[in-house]
C-alpha cells in the first residue's frame, strides 16, 4: 500500500441522506501523506471532495472484499486483519471495526432490502389501507429528508417532515411553517406562534388578514377544563341577582333585600344590606365626609340541583353630596329633609344648645316659683 496508488470506485446505490444516487465513493492512497483517503465524486459535475484520511491496520486492505452496505449507506472496507472498517459518509467518521471471521468462501455478498421491504402497502388495525415505510428516513434524490423518525430532546419518538409546506393532491396547503416560526394549518390558516413565552393563536384569510375564530357545531370552548360560555352565563346570572339588591338606605338606618338572576338556564340568588355609616359607627368621631355615607354588603351564588356554587361577595361605600333633593312641584314648606341632609351635624348642635338654654330657663322659673310659695306660706 505504501508503494502503489490503488483507487476503487464503489458505485452501488445506497439509501442515505448523503445523496447516494448522485455521488460515487472512492478510496485511494496518497503518497504525500502516506494515508488512504475516502473521496466523494459528484456524478453530474465530476467534482471531487475529500471526506477522510486514514491508515489501514496492517497498512493493507482488500478492495475486492470491500463494499457499500446498501441498507445503511456505510462504506465497509476490509483490512488485512480480516476486520471491516465502517465509514459513515454522512458524518465522515469511522465507527467501531467489525470482526469478520468467516473463511472458506470465495466471495461474501451482502443483501439489501427489496423495494417491497422499503415501502409497501399495508392495512392498519381498523382495516384501513396504509403505506408502510421500512426505513426510518425517506429521502429524495439529493439526500434531503422527505419524512423520517427520530427522538426529540426528551427522548420521545417524533416524525420529521423535510418540507415546510405539506399540501394535498390539489396543491392546497394542509400545514406549513413560515420564516417567522409560525405554524399555519389549512389554506386559509389557523396560525399559532410562540412570542415572549406566550403561545399565540389566531386565524387569517387568503390575503393574510386576521379573521374571527368561531367555535361552532356544538363544540364548547374550555380553558383548563372549564367551559368558557358556561362560566359567562353564570357570571351574567350573578350580575343580574346582585343588581336587585339595595345600595342605599333611603330614610332608614338600614335596608336589606334579596334578589335573583337568570341567564341561559343559569340561576343565581343574592342577599345583601345597605347601612347608614354614621348610625353604624355612631360612637366614633368620623370625618364630615362620612356623615352622608352608606355601606352596602352582599353575596350571591349560582343554584343547581346539588346546591350552590360560585359564591360571590360584594362590598361598597357610597357618599351623598350636594344639597337636599327638592321637588319643584311642592311648596317650600312641604319639602322633606332627611337625616342625611347637608348641615345635619350643625342642626344637631343647635338643638343641643337650645335644649340647654331651655333647661336653664326652667331651672330659673322653678327657683322663683319655690320662693313665691315660701313667701305665701309665711303670711
**Tally of domains in the chain:** 4
In angstroms, what CA-CA distances link 167 with 131, 133, 178?
18, 20, 14
Specify whether 293 is located in the same domain as 351: no
What's the pLDDT at 264? 87
Specify whether 274 is located in the same domain as 235: yes
What's the pLDDT at 7? 44
**Regions of the chain short of the pLDDT cut 70:** 1-21, 109-118, 134-135, 140-143, 283-284, 322-346, 379
What's the pLDDT at 43? 86
The Cα 306–Cα 276 span in angstroms is: 37
Specify whether 53 is located in the same domain as 89: yes
> What is the pLDDT of the chain when averaged over all its residues?
79
State the CATH number of the domain containing residue 61.
2.40.10.480
Specify whether 94 is located in the same domain as 121: no
Take residue 181 and report the three cell numbers written for it: 416560526
Q: Which range marks the domain in which residue 13 is found?
A: 8-99
Predicted TM-score (pTM) of the model is 0.42
- Phi, psi of 295, deg, nearest 5: -100, 130
Specify whether 307 is located in the same domain as 266: yes
Specify whether 14 is located in the same domain as 61: yes
- The answer to whether 83 and 99 are in contact (CB under 8 A) is yes
| 196 part of a folded domain | no
Specify whether 284 is located in the same domain as 353: no
Specify whether 12 is located in the same domain as 73: yes
Specify whether 59 is located in the same domain as 142: no
Q: Which of 162, 183, 199 is the last residue of a domain?
A: 162
Amino acid at each position: 500500500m505504501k508503494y502503489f496508488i490503488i483507487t476503487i470506485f464503489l458505485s452501488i446505490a445506497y439509501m442515505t441522506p448523503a445523496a447516494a444516487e448522485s455521488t460515487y465513493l472512492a478510496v485511494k492512497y496518497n503518497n504525500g501523506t502516506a494515508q488512504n483517503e475516502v473521496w466523494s465524486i459528484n456524478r453530474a459535475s465530476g467534482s471531487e471532495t475529500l471526506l477522510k484520511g486514514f491508515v489501514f491496520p496492517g497498512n493493507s486492505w482488500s478492495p475486492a472484499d470491500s463494499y457499500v452496505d446498501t441498507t445503511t449507506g456505510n462504506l465497509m472496507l476490509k483490512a488485512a486483519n480480516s476486520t471491516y472498517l465502517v465509514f459513515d459518509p454522512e458524518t465522515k467518521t469511522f465507527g467501531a471495526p467489525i470482526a469478520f471471521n468467516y473463511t472458506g468462501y470465495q466471495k461474501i455478498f451482502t443483501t439489501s432490502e427489496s423495494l417491497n421491504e422499503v415501502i409497501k402497502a399495508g392495512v392498519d388495525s381498523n382495516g384501513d389501507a396504509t403505506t408502510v415505510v421500512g426505513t426510518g428516513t425517506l429521502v429524495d434524490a439529493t439526500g434531503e429528508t422527505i419524512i423520517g423518525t427520530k427522538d426529540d430532546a426528551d427522548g420521545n419518538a417524533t416524525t420529521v417532515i423535510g418540507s415546510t409546506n405539506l399540501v394535498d393532491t390539489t396543491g392546497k396547503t394542509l400545514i406549513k411553517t413560515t420564516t417567522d416560526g409560525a405554524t399555519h394549518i389549512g389554506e386559509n390558516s389557523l396560525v399559532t406562534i410562540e412570542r415572549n413565552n406566550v403561545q399565540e393563536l389566531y386565524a387569517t384569510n387568503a390575503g393574510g388578514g386576521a379573521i374571527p375564530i368561531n367555535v361552532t357545531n356544538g363544540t364548547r370552548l374550555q380553558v383548563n377544563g372549564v367551559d368558557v360560555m358556561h362560566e359567562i352565563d353564570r357570571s351574567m346570572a350573578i350580575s343580574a341577582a346582585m343588581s336587585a339588591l339595595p345600595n342605599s338606605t333611603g330614610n332608614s338606618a338600614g335596608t336589606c333585600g334579596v334578589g335573583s338572576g337568570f341567564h341561559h338556564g343559569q340561576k343565581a340568588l343574592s342577599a345583601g344590606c345597605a347601612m347608614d355609616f354614621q348610625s353604624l359607627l355612631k360612637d366614633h368621631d368620623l370625618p364630615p365626609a362620612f356623615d352622608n355615607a352608606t355601606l352596602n354588603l352582599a353575596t350571591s351564588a349560582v343554584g343547581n340541583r346539588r346546591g350552590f356554587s360560585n359564591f360571590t361577595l360584594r362590598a361598597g361605600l357610597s357618599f351623598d353630596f350636594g344639597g337636599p333633593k327638592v321637588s319643584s312641584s311642592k311648596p317650600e314648606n312641604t319639602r322633606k329633609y332627611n337625616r342625611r341632609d347637608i348641615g345635619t351635624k350643625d342642626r344637631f348642635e343647635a338643638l343641643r344648645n337650645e335644649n340647654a338654654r331651655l333647661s336653664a330657663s326652667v331651672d330659673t322659673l322653678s327657683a322663683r316659683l319655690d320662693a313665691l310659695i315660701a313667701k305665701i306660706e309665711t303670711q
